[in-house]
Amino acid sequence: MDDPPAPEKDTVYLRANGVSLLLDPRSPGLPEVVHWGADLGDLSEETAAAVAAAAPYGVAHGALDARPPLELLPHPARGHLGRGGLVGSRAGRAWSPLFATTAVSRAEEGQAGAITVEAVDEQAALSLRSELRLTGQGVLVMRHTLVNDGDDPYDLVSLPVQLPVPARASELLDLTGRWGNERVPQRTTLNHGAWVREGRHGRTGHDAPLLLVAGTAGFGFRDGEAWAVHVAWSGDSTLWAERLPEGPTALGGGELLQAGEVRLGPGEAYSTPWVYAAHSARGLDGISHALHDLVRDRPQHPRAPRPVVLNTWEAVYFDLDPDRLLDMAEQAAQIGVERFVLDDGWFTGRTSDRAGLGDWSVSEAVLPSGLGPLIDRVVDLGMDFGLWVEPEMVNLDSDLARAHPDWLLAVPGRLPPEWRHQQVLDLAHPDAWEHILDRLDELLTEHRISYLKWDHNRDLIDAGHGEGPGVRAQTLAFYRMLDTLRSRHPSVEIESCASGGGRVDLEVLARTDRIWASDCTDALERQSIQRWTGLLVPPELVGAHVSAPRNHQTGRTLDLSFRAGTALFGHFGIEWDVTDATEAERAELAAWVAAYRELRPLLHSGDVVRADHLVDGTELHGVVARDRADALFAAVQTRTATASVPARVVLPGLDPSRTYRVRPQPPGDSPRTMERATPPWLAAGEAILPGSALARVGLPLPILAPEQLLLLRVTAVVGD
């Protein structure tokens, strides 16, 4: 047998958009990650080698005689005492892998680039390929692929991706939540030990951290240095941060596998999910800018203006009267709606959430003439037509479940606990997959449907496929179905809805056109939900709807200006029976729709900015154009202020060397206030100030009443 090719021994240095990565492949194992973080500048090969040579830690008393290297995939066999290594065996053998690099190749992409590392463990009969790509946006994208080179099966338990971070990353931030209250931030100190987040929902989860961020003490949206990782996977997953007494600190993540879920036969391979890693020297906004730019640079990213949506769910629920729907469509078109979406209740047997899932044919009892007349009228009114589906689920009270009980995702001999009176259809079963694909394909072929609201209303619990666990197979089958539908119907847009924000990750977004951030449409709750969802997802992909005056989830009553001003900073829509609205409400809503249609080129292409250190219930966020010539900010009062006069607010993200005109933006220019006189600049109708002053001195706001917002349009003075 020929010897494997000798690996490249030069250090590998990549840099892009303020971020750099330095690898040292000179160790006997896998390359060491010398640096991932702030740009080190234009290093020569000699300088990069010198940095790598100077980086290793010393050896402490009471420790190994030689330090364990900080490899791409750490090895316990080389002394690594933390998380992050390959775990698996051949029936108890080959349990302690020891890979040696055989090749390191590099592909240039301007200042960015891609690296592939090939390695083998001949004794364990395993091969490993590690792929790293530093994108033009400065985002590091990584994954591992493991190949079984042996003659007997290899049972894989864990194959994560991890990266080191420096000791100054002393605080952690991630997100938690529940149905109706997704994306709740939480912080902790990064002490010795591991902070581990495991998602076992069979989908990303309402409590998904989205990103795990390590940062310098007190880091915020605009301040501090931060490192973040995201696992792009819609099944079970894990993220962690770990600090060891021996020195190294790391962020990592990957797929969370069940026992027996991945058994590699001879020659078979397993690839981890892609892990996205971002660094920022300017707080969380810098992380978001890099990730948003990366998402927007995808070939499949929606390029057309994001249409104003009206969804029927909170308007009528299961009461789908054809005449009422036609009336609603007429009113929607007059308001300026561009996409009319018929939600749950349109198919056979579906008069509540207890029956019908799986029987994807139009209910003659609900729509005696079928979908055709409604779709025709919607299209004649100048709107797209969208339809709600939940293809992965099934009610036991359905023709499908009665005919094919073997198509359920379950351990043989028992059913998982019900959730919303439904079970999960095993899409890894070839016949079930083909049946659902055929029904969806038929719907999209026979009708002028431009949009699918794809729902997923329960976790996968006790999810068996055949004799083994089924979450991984289900996730891959779901991806394959989306890919197939998109190839057959490339013009149809798809929303990832999972009882709200239960399936939000970059892998599902590679196949869909927006996410539904939460089933909670209360605008006050949505201020926080949308703010933190925006850490990862750009606003044009986040569904944000204007709900009824008295919200259906919380019972809170909010002004239309607050509800619409909140929805403005996402993919704007309406979740309200507009036929019940007054003429004045419809006129005001139409004004907000017109404002959204005017502002969406800015809102859906600029940098999202969020202010830090605001007090007294005041929050400020906005979008600044990439050329810094235009911006829209929202000052939001979430509760009654303690101080009688609020502090000035600064406007982040502007060019300090330019002069700007600041004006209230209609129709969000007339909030209720709690003052006798407005600030002088506001009484005058505008302020013309340098960007440096707006960023440092700021502007006084009116004393906003609770649950009010003020929109501010900021434009560069022509000729400045």
Q: Which residue has the tokens 């194992």?
A: 29
pLDDT digits (tens, 9 = 90+) for 438-447: 999 999 999 9
Poorest-pLDDT segment among 104-108, 219-223, 695-699: 104-108
What the block records as the tokens of 310 is: 């009206």
Predicted local distance difference test score (pLDDT) of residue 1: 37
455 is catalytic: yes
Residue 298 scores a pLDDT above 90: yes
Angle between helices 430-446 and 471-488 (to 10 degrees): 30
Predicted local distance difference test score (pLDDT) of residue 720: 59
Please spell the DSSP secondary structure of 305-344, one letter per residue.
----EEESHHHHTT---HHHHHHHHHHHHHHT--EEEE-S
Mean pLDDT over 79-107 rounds to 93
Contacts of 544 (CB under 8 A, 6+ apart): 517, 526, 530, 566, 567, 568, 569, 570, 571, 572, 573
- Ranges of H-type helices in 491-634: 506-509, 523-533, 560-567, 583-603
Q: Give the pairing type, strands 171-178 and 212-215.
A: antiparallel
Report the C-alpha gap between 491 and 488 in whole angstroms. 9
Cα end-to-end span (Å), the chain: 71
Predicted local distance difference test score (pLDDT) of residue 67: 83
pLDDT digits (tens, 9 = 90+) for 341-370: 999 999 999 999 999 999 999 999 999 999
Residue 50 scores a pLDDT above 60: yes
Which residues sit opposite 633 in a β-bridge? 622, 712
The separation between CA 92 and the C-alpha centre of its own chain, rounded to angstroms, equals: 38
Q: Which residue among 24, 207, 519, 522 is the active-site one?
A: 519
Which residues sit opposite 469 in a β-bridge? 464
Cβ atoms of 540 and 246 within 8 Å: the answer is no
Q: Which helix (H) or strand (E) holds 136?
A: none
Predicted local distance difference test score (pLDDT) of residue 28: 81
Predicted local distance difference test score (pLDDT) of residue 4: 45
3-class DSSP state of 245: coil
Mean pLDDT over 291-304 rounds to 96
Residue 109's pLDDT band, with cuts at 50, 70 and 90, is low
Report the C-alpha gap between 707 and 50 in whole angstroms. 57
654-675 in b/e form (b: 16+ CB < 10 A) is bbeeebbebbbbebbeebebee
Predicted local distance difference test score (pLDDT) of residue 7: 47
Which residues sit opposite 394 in a β-bridge? 423
What the block records as the tokens of 206 is: 């309402």
Mean pLDDT over 378-403 rounds to 98
Q: Which domains does the chain have, with CATH numbers?
A: 12-296 (2.70.98.60), 608-716 (2.60.40.1180)
Sign of CA dihedral 476, 481, 484, 487: negative
3-class DSSP state of 434: helix
Mean pLDDT over 552-568 rounds to 98
Helices (H) and strands (E) in the chain, counts: 14, 38
% of residues, the chain, pLDDT over 70:
98
Phi, psi of 533 (to 5 degrees): -60, -35
Report the C-alpha gap between 97 and 89 in whole angstroms. 9
Mean pLDDT over 413-420 rounds to 95
Phi, psi of 360 (to 5 degrees): -85, 60
% of residues, the chain, pLDDT over 90:
91
What the block records as the tokens of 221 is: 């949206």
Predicted local distance difference test score (pLDDT) of residue 382: 98
What is the Cα gyration radius of the chain?
27
Mean pLDDT over 36-57 rounds to 94
What the block records as the tokens of 251 is: 């962020």
- Ranges of H-type helices in 522-572: 523-533, 560-567
Predicted local distance difference test score (pLDDT) of residue 9: 67
Which residues sit opposite 234 in a β-bridge? none
Which residues sit opposite 145 in a β-bridge? 129, 271
Residue 199 scores a pLDDT above 90: yes
Mean pLDDT over 604-617 rounds to 90
- Ranges of H-type helices in 450-502: 471-488
Cβ atoms of 338 and 385 within 8 Å: the answer is no
Predicted local distance difference test score (pLDDT) of residue 5: 44
Contacts of 693 (CB under 8 A, 6+ apart): none
Report the C-alpha gap between 222 and 610 in whole angstroms. 7
Report the C-alpha gap between 539 and 608 in whole angstroms. 8
3-class DSSP state of 543: strand
What the block records as the tokens of 496 is: 């990832």
Residue 6's pLDDT band, with cuts at 50, 70 and 90, is very low
pLDDT digits (tens, 9 = 90+) for 309-320: 999 999 999 999
Predicted local distance difference test score (pLDDT) of residue 56: 87
